Amino acid sequence: MRLKEKLESMSLEDYAIIEHTVRERMLRFSDSSLTVAKDEEVSAVTIYMAKSGRRMLGTTSDLRPVGLEAFVEALASSLRTSPEAEYAHLPEGPFKYTHNGDADERLAEADLAELVERAINSALEAGAERVSGTLTAHLTELAISTSAGAEGSDFRTGIELNVRAFCGKEASGHDLSVATKLERFEPESAGRTAGEYSVLAKNPRPIKEGRYDVMMGPTVAASMFELIGLHASAFEIDAGLSIFTEKLDEKVAVEGFTLIDHGQIENGLDS
């Protein structure tokens, strides 16, 4: 099925097609030994369509011609019954897309088991008694085509390691390493830090009830900022799913906090 020709024939005011294929390689380890290995590839298509003040968005992984046909018809049916709302048309292309070259094809064949071993050994050397976690490498291909003349493609890679080190029955420590290229990936550092934290957690001490200044580590702060970034999405706000919905012109953060959406930041996962 030729998606573009099908959507062109539907007299839509706007449409966009995004094709994405993701290959994910994953290793899971427990008690300092590998326990699970997985290598899978998933392809999907996302379609956006708009007409007469109505919009609809959907994704399908059924790429058979009959499956795509049914998917488009279902989207069109939902579009006709969706409520009308004010919306901006897709920007007119063509556009010039660039890539910062921050991708690493070597992740398709990299020895992930060896990387896990380095992390485990570093954690044990730092004092941990046993180590668990996951290592995931992903390679993503994207392509977009819109009714407004935008065309482009992209290739992204990333590798993520989460290490949980244990010391005794209850004490544990966590750290991670993420990168877009192998040369920036630091499994030893993640393992060592997780191991050190597990040792420090062995003898917790009570503190008095009160008000304290708290310094957040990178992983805690990143979890918060990730949610803030998600909720700052125009799509999330427009759909009413964001904490920032109907907050225009209101103060939503402390002075001095700045969040920048940088689509091509070096070593930025999914950038």
- Only one residue has tokens 């060896």, namely 114
Which of 17, 4, 84 has its CA nearest to residue 44? 17
- Average confidence (pLDDT) over 39-61: 96
Residues 192-213 have a mean pLDDT of: 94
pLDDT at 259: 83
Q: Could you tell me the end-to-end alpha-carbon distance of the chain, in angstroms, rounded to an integer?
A: 31
d(CA 27, CA 107) in angstroms, rounded, equals: 13
Q: Quick one: which of 63, 58, 72 has its CA closest to 42?
A: 63
101 pLDDT above the threshold of 80: no
pLDDT per residue as tens digits for the range 13-35 = 999 999 999 999 999 999 999 99
Q: What is the DSSP letter of 255?
A: T
Q: What is the mean pLDDT of residues 35-59?
A: 96
Average pLDDT over residues 263-269: 79
Q: Has residue 217 got a pLDDT over 80?
A: yes
pLDDT at 77 over 90: yes
Tokens read off for 267: 């070593």
Across the chain, mean pLDDT equals 92
Mean pLDDT of 189-195: 98
What's the confidence (pLDDT) of residue 1?
Answer: 60
Residue 41 has pLDDT above 90, yes or no: yes
pLDDT digits (tens, 9 = 90+) for 78-100: 999 998 888 889 999 998 877 77
Predicted local distance difference test score (pLDDT) of residue 257:
86
Q: What is the mean pLDDT of residues 137-147?
A: 96
Q: Cα 143 vs. chain centroid, distance in angstroms?
A: 17
Predicted confidence band of residue 203 (pLDDT cuts 50, 70, 90): confident
Query: pTM higher than 0.75 for the full model?
Result: yes
The pLDDT, as a whole number, for residue 266 is 80
Give the mean model confidence (pLDDT) for residues 182-207. 95
Burial class for 135, CB neighbours closer than 10 Å (0-12, 13-18, 19+): buried
Q: Which of 258, 153, 174 is nearest to 218 (CA)?
A: 174
User: Alpha-carbon distance 82 to 68, whole Å?
Assistant: 21
Check residue 74 and give left, alpha or beta (phi > 0: left; psi -120 to 50: alpha).
alpha
Provide the sign of the torsion angle of the four alpha carbons 257, 258, 261, 262, taken in this order: negative
Contacts of 181 (CB under 8 A, 6+ apart): 102, 103, 104, 157, 267
| pLDDT of res. 173 | 96
